[in-house]
């Protein structure tokens, strides 16, 4: 197959996405496909009459990827580095190359790559892409909307509210909450902009910092406990994985810094707890109108109560990421997982 792996972009998870994309590209090349890694924002300036040759170019676009840094990327510097109009999300030849491919494997994370906008554009352009459609991506990405859907669908989530910047003076009492709380951007990922507040001063500072990223934030009750993820591919629910960070919680640095987190899969929990987590994953997956694959994140308190925090429609896909580790625990190797995602996408969303 001719495959474009689309990564990069302009979200705070840009670096993570490029490394995910590189891993996907390499393993699909090893499987015998014609693959090219393409940064959706930077694009690929090339002679339009020779674009078909891109799929067999030496290097396969892998020079676009680099190691994940422990701090978020400078997006203004990224914008400034592209020649021409920096306001268009799609770089040179992106649409043309994606239309030439048999399928576009989305290695994007966060922002415009995961919030349904790109998926909607591709639907209108007739471009086939992996994963969920635009509606599911949009509602899953917005934590305020998804938590309302969870509450209506029997998916247990921490008590909380979503507030806009113009309600910055709302006290916790007014919101029906009390310390400690978690404050986080409504549509962010990789725990960027997430803060735990134990005092009123910390709460005010957390609001100020989270509003740097978006005009809407989620404030929810802090649940002290163990952190888990549970993936789903097609109709197969993977075993839960536990993340044990050395820091206070599973933040950006812990996710991508070597040896910052111990990950255990299958998680050391009872079969009953694992089954409840898998059932909640499936319930959230269907409630959000998702398709093909996703990964749900959970907290479990000391009484083994489970709380679903969110569902990631484009989870990290480096070989060391959570979803591939869960798959490997049941004998699905990384390359087979990538091909399975393509196969499930074609069967579910593009049946011939």
3 token code pair: 């495959």
Tell me the pLDDT tens digit for each residue of 305-336: 999 999 999 999 988 899 999 999 999 999 99
Choice among 96-105, 203-212, 332-341 with the minimum mean pLDDT: 203-212
Give domain status of residue 145, yes or no.
no
C-alpha–C-alpha distance, residues 265 and 140, integer Å: 25
What are the distances in angstroms from CA 245 to CA 72, 89, 227, 263?
A: 19, 34, 9, 8
- The answer to whether 252 and 16 are in contact (CB under 8 A) is no
Least confident of 63-67, 69-73, 233-237, 306-310: 69-73
Q: Are residues 106 and 23 in the same domain?
A: yes
Query: Does one domain contain both 241 and 321?
Result: yes
Residue numbers of the domain that contains 212: 159-221
Residue 339, pLDDT score: 98
Strand partners, 221: 181
Q: Which of 221, 247, 263 is the last residue of a domain?
A: 221
How many C-beta neighbours within 10 Å does residue 208 have? 12
Same domain, 124 and 6: yes
Q: How far apart are CA 199 and CA 196, in angstroms?
A: 9
* 226-258 pLDDT tens trace: 999 999 999 899 999 999 987 655 444 444 455
194 with 187: CB under 8 angstroms? no
pLDDT at position 234: 93
Q: Residue 303's domain is classified under what CATH number?
A: 3.30.470.20
The angle at the Cα of 72, spanning 92 to 74, to the nearest 5 degrees, equals: 50
**Contact (CB, 8 A) for 312 and 163:** no
Global pTM reads 0.90
Distances (CA, A) of 109 to 21, 239, 268, 276, 331: 10, 23, 28, 27, 26
Considering the domain architecture, whether residues 111 and 199 belong to the same structural domain is answered as no
* Domain co-membership, 234 together with 205: no
pLDDT single digits (tens) 121-143: 999 999 999 999 999 999 999 99
Give the CATH number, domain containing residue 105. 3.40.50.20
Same domain? 95 vs 188: no
Q: Look at residue 53 and tell me if it is in a domain.
A: yes
Q: Contact, 217 vs 279, CB < 8 A?
A: no
pLDDT per residue as tens digits for the range 29-46: 999 999 999 999 999 999
Of 186, 196, 258, residue with least CA distance to 227: 196
**Across the chain, what does the average pLDDT equal?**
91
d(CA 73, CA 77): 9
Q: Are residues 80 and 99 in the same domain?
A: yes
Q: Are both 10 and 73 inside the same structural domain?
A: yes
Domain count, the chain: 3
Do 202 and 285 belong to one domain?
no
Confidence of residue 166 (pLDDT cuts 50, 70, 90): confident
Residues 204 and 239 in one domain: no
Q: 191 and 247, same structural domain?
A: no
In this structure, the answer to whether residues 270 and 196 fall within a common structural domain is no
């Amino acid at each position: 197959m001719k495959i474009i792996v689309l990564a990069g972009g302009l979200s705070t998870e840009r670096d993570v996405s490029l490394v995910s994309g590189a891993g996907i590209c390499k393993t699909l090349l090893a499987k015998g496909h014609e693959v090219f890694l393409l940064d959706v924002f930077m694009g690929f300036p090339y002679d339009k009459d020779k674009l078909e040759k891109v799929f067999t170019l030496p290097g396969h676009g892998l020079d676009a990827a680099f190691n994940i840094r422990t701090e978020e990327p400078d997006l203004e510097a990224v914008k400034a580095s592209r020649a021409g109009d920096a306001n268009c999300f799609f770089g040179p030849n992106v649409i043309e190359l994606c239309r030439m491919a048999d399928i576009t494997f989305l290695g994007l994370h966060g922002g415009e790559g995961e919030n349904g906008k790109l998926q909607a554009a591709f639907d209108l352009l007739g471009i086939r892409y992996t994963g969920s459609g635009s509606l599911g991506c949009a509602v899953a990405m917005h934590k305020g909307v998804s938590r309302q859907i969870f509450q209506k669908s029997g998916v247990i989530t921490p008590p909380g509210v979503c507030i806009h910047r113009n309600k910055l003076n709302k006290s916790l009492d007014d919101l029906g909450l009390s310390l400690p709380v978690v404050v986080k951007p409504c549509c962010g990922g990789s725990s960027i902009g997430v803060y735990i507040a134990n005092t009123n001063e910390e709460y005010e500072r957390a609001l100020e910092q989270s509003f740097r990223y978006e005009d809407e934030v989620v404030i929810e009750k802090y649940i002290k406990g163990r952190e888990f993820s549970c993936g789903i591919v097609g109709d197969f629910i993977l075993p839960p994985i536990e993340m044990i960070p050395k820091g206070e919680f599973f933040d950006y640095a812990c996710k991508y810094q070597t040896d910052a987190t111990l990950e255990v899969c299958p998680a050391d929990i009872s079969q009953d707890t694992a089954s409840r987590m898998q059932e909640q994953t499936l319930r959230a997956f269907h409630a959000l109108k998702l398709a093909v694959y996703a990964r749900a994140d959970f907290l479990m308190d000391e009484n083994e109560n489970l709380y679903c925090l969110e569902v990631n429609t484009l989870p990290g896909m480096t070989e060391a990421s959570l979803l591939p580790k869960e798959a490997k625990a049941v004998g699905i190797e990384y390359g087979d997982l990538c091909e399975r995602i393509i196969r499930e996408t074609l069967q579910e969303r593009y049946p011939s």
